[in-house]
Amino acid sequence: MKIDTQLSGDVIMSGEQSMTELVNLAGRIYDLDERVYKATGSALGRVFYRNREKTIDELLENMCDTSRAHIIRNEFALIGNMARTIPNRDVYREAMTEYNEIVHQLRALTGTLGKREIINATEARLNSFGNAKAIVGAHKIICISRSYGAGGDDIGFGLADKLKINYYDAEIFKTVSKRLEAESDEEMSDANFELSQNIKNPGLSYATEHMTLKARMARFNRYHGLSARDALFFTQSELLCDLAQKEDFVVMGRCADVIMSNNHIPHVSIYITAPFKLRAQRMAEINDVDMKQAVKQLKQVDRRHASYYNFYTGRKWGNASNYDICINSARYGIKGSIEFIANVLNGTGNSDEK
Amino acid sequence: MKIDTQLSGDVIMSGEQSMTELVNLAGRIYDLDERVYKATGSALGRVFYRNREKTIDELLENMCDTSRAHIIRNEFALIGNMARTIPNRDVYREAMTEYNEIVHQLRALTGTLGKREIINATEARLNSFGNAKAIVGAHKIICISRSYGAGGDDIGFGLADKLKINYYDAEIFKTVSKRLEAESDEEMSDANFELSQNIKNPGLSYATEHMTLKARMARFNRYHGLSARDALFFTQSELLCDLAQKEDFVVMGRCADVIMSNNHIPHVSIYITAPFKLRAQRMAEINDVDMKQAVKQLKQVDRRHASYYNFYTGRKWGNASNYDICINSARYGIKGSIEFIANVLNGTGNSDEK
């Protein structure tokens, strides 16, 4: 393997870095620091005070120890910061070119920048925000969780409206579930059974489309023995997965993010919150109660959401590490939050309005 | 005031809505539901089962009570969901046109959609993500907080590099502070004093540029009586505000978000975290320790960050309602997080790379 150890240029990178390459790189860092120091003329503008050999030794030590690699990164960032202040444009350009080259070399050295991955590949693959490829062809599914009073419902509804896609929340699901039950009762009579077989029904009555009466009865008996809450949860989970196969939508709460993840369906998950005091003030206004009452309600509703989420997901509700992003609605307002989310979806090529 | 009460069209909105307008709107909602129900031919596709008059009464009650306005919104969302399934394209278009018109009418009615603002105007005005106008002419200042092990440092550094702007963190600030002190000592001698007056020094030596020796001595004595930690905090705060006047940068930690807010400087604040277990695994690898040790370190470092942040800001560290956005780096990876943030900055017209 040929290794170009000249300071001038393109070091050939192999899978494993040879010491020669590292020494070369350390030397370039030292030299750049010296050059920048001379060009800025600043008595303070020098990162490395010691002589070239000693500095290179120190740099090498840090390069080879991932737990200390951030030191190089910081020292090097300081050189970059200084370089950007060089008044002479030619010297500036030259220094920045060398700076950028070294950054890329450093990056090519595994671990040299202290960079180890933090990715959860399974979940990252399903994150439509972060993975434009995952969502080509897939439906646009936006799962929103929110703390009470943060305006999450208004934001979710407004977003669905802006994107011209469907909107689902607990009340809508309840209505849908009631209808499914009512429909199920109806269909106990043959006439209605015949009817449901013949009409084209592309709406929310997902259950009627492809299922025989027998299959549907089986479906309704399936959760026998479960609590009503559990049965509802599982019905909703199934409904969500069905919907995700055929349409774009915004869904509020319902642990939809976790249901999508568990079923390997690409989506984005957003948590919307705002400072407690602001939320309480807002709910006091909306519900026309005093602050004391509002605070009590806030805590109750948040606790209920938390308990529901924790029960069905085993995760901690409202913890930023459960979602793709969290948004503080107080920093944007309701309209601003809607626009912000729509922009973010657009930014990743994920929101061509239909 | 002329009020057009025809169902056909453009109701003239006044500051206060007359009952006639509300009745008109409620009627249009009922009629749309009926139309959609007929067009989809679905036995399930009807939101309002009761007769027109009773339904209008109910709608009016909900319209006039902000605490129940979300009910209309949900019922109406359901009509919209159904309307989108109308197979005949002409009927579909007609229904959706009416749907959109009603949405806009509803929105114009203050509070009708249960929409009350959640905005903190003071902070929203400073949020460069949410307020493109705020940052025209202002510098691009990106404040990043992070939980230990989430890769926040790598992401912040990579972001600065991608945007070609400066990067500051605790260690860099420490270096800068040391230099300022060293410089201060140097300048006790006249020769050095003369030198510092004469050389052009546009770098990090912000203190030397416009201050007399006397002013600078005063500065260094100013925090007399404060603990070293407090003195450092205030020095860093001043440095940050100075820097914010003249350059774009990424700053890690240092309560920079709160310092920017307190000084009315537009910025974006980002919190980067990831699930605890993943962070511990990552740090176990980087620091070459076992999981038990890594967990202990993680808790220690997070506790230290939290205590620092809480002490100087009175806010709870890591709580999503303190930041413009939170990002779960495990859903993007390090490179993905850098790209995501850069995209978001671009999406709001806030990141023309220089």
Q: Which of A274, A288, A320 sits opposite B326 (nearest CB)?
A: A320
| A180 or B323, higher pLDDT | B323
Instruction: Look up the ipTM and state it.
Output: 0.71
- Whether residue A200 has pLDDT greater than 90: no
Helix (H, G, I), strand (E, B) or coil at B288: coil
Cα–Cα distance list, A13 to A5, A56, A107, A227 (Å)? 11, 20, 11, 61
Q: Which residue of A has its CA nearest to B330?
A: A119
Cα–Cα distance list, B344 to A158, A270, B145, B273 (Å)? 20, 15, 17, 17
**With bands split at pLDDT 50, 70 and 90, how would you rate the model's confidence at A7?**
very low
Residue A329 has what pLDDT? 94
Q: How far apart are the CA of B288 and the nearest CA of chain A, in angstroms?
A: 8
C-alpha A293/C-alpha A270 separation (Å) is: 28
Cross-chain Cβ contact B116/A199 below 8 Å:
no
Q: From its phi and psi, is residue A309 left (phi > 0), alpha (psi between -120 and 50) or beta?
A: alpha
Helix (H, G, I), strand (E, B) or coil at B273: strand
Helix (H, G, I), strand (E, B) or coil at A233: helix
Question: H-helix or E-strand containing A142?
Answer: strand A141-146
Cross-chain Cβ contact B320/A322 below 8 Å:
no
Q: Which of A74, A87, A169 sits opposite B74 (nearest CB)?
A: A169
C-alpha B288/C-alpha B282 separation (Å) is: 10
- For residue A330, which residues of chain B lie inside 8 Å, CB to CB? 118-120, 123-124, 321
A307-341 pLDDT tens trace: 888 888 888 888 889 999 999 999 988 888 999 99
Cross-chain Cβ contact B44/A127 below 8 Å:
no
Mutation for A interface: B321, B324, B338, most A CBs within 10 A: B321
What token pair was written down for B184?
């201060």
Q: Which residues contact A60 (CB under 8 A, 6 or more apart)?
A: A19, A22, A23, A26
Q: Which of A54-58, A114-118, A250-254, B204-208 ranks highest by mean pLDDT?
A: A250-254
Residue B65 has what pLDDT? 72
Q: Which of B171, B202, B271 sits opposite A87 (nearest CB)?
A: B202
The strand pair at B268-273 and B141-146 is best described as parallel
Mutation for A interface: B44, B144, B317, most A CBs within 10 A: B44
Cross-chain Cβ contact A175/B318 below 8 Å:
no
What token pair was written down for B240?
């940050």
Q: How far apart are the CA of B87 and the nearest CA of chain A, in angstroms?
A: 8
A206-244 pLDDT tens trace: 344 445 555 555 555 555 566 677 777 888 888 899 889
Between the two ends of chain B, the Cα-to-Cα distance in Å is: 55
Cross-chain Cβ contact A327/B322 below 8 Å:
no
B205 close contact with A: CB closer than 8 A: yes
- For residue A33, which residues of chain B lie inside 8 Å, CB to CB? none
- Domains and their CATH numbers in chain A: 19-108 (no CATH), 121-347 (3.40.50.300)
Residue A9 has what pLDDT? 31
Q: How far apart are the CA of A223 and the nearest CA of chain B, in angstroms?
A: 23
Cross-chain Cβ contact A166/B113 below 8 Å:
no
C-alpha B308/C-alpha B318 separation (Å) is: 12
**With bands split at pLDDT 50, 70 and 90, how would you rate the model's confidence at A21?**
confident
Question: H-helix or E-strand containing B175?
Answer: helix B170-186
- For residue A347, which residues of chain B lie inside 8 Å, CB to CB? 343-344, 346-347
A134-176 pLDDT tens trace: 555 678 899 999 999 999 999 999 999 899 899 998 888 777 7
Q: How far apart are the CA of A230 and the nearest CA of chain B, in angstroms?
A: 23
A110 close contact with B: CB closer than 8 A: no
Cross-chain Cβ contact B271/A320 below 8 Å:
yes
- For residue A144, which residues of chain B lie inside 8 Å, CB to CB? none
> Where does residue A112 rank: exposed (0-12), middle (13-18), buried (19+ CB within 10 A)?
buried
- For residue B180, which residues of chain A lie inside 8 Å, CB to CB? 44
Residue B180 has what pLDDT? 65
C-alpha A353/C-alpha A346 separation (Å) is: 9
Question: C-alpha angle with apex A36: A35 to A37, nearest 5 degrees?
Answer: 90
A40 close contact with B: CB closer than 8 A: yes
Mutation for B interface: A321, A325, A350, A354, most B CBs within 10 A: A321
Average pLDDT per block of 10 residues along chain B, 354 residues long: 34 49 88 90 73 87 75 84 87 90 76 63 77 65 94 92 89 74 52 37 39 54 64 83 90 90 90 93 89 94 88 84 93 90 71 36
B233 close contact with A: CB closer than 8 A: no
Residue B212 has what pLDDT? 55
Q: How far apart are the CA of A103 and the nearest CA of chain B, in angstroms?
A: 9
| A85 or A12, higher pLDDT | A85
Q: Which of A161, A192, A273 sits opposite B320 (nearest CB)?
A: A273
A251-271 pLDDT tens trace: 998 889 989 988 888 899 999
What token pair was written down for A143?
């799962």
What token pair was written down for B341?
């943030």
- Answer whether 0.80 is exceeded by the pTM: no
Residues forming a β-bridge with A252: A144
A38 close contact with B: CB closer than 8 A: no
Q: Which residue of A has its CA nearest to B48?
A: A175
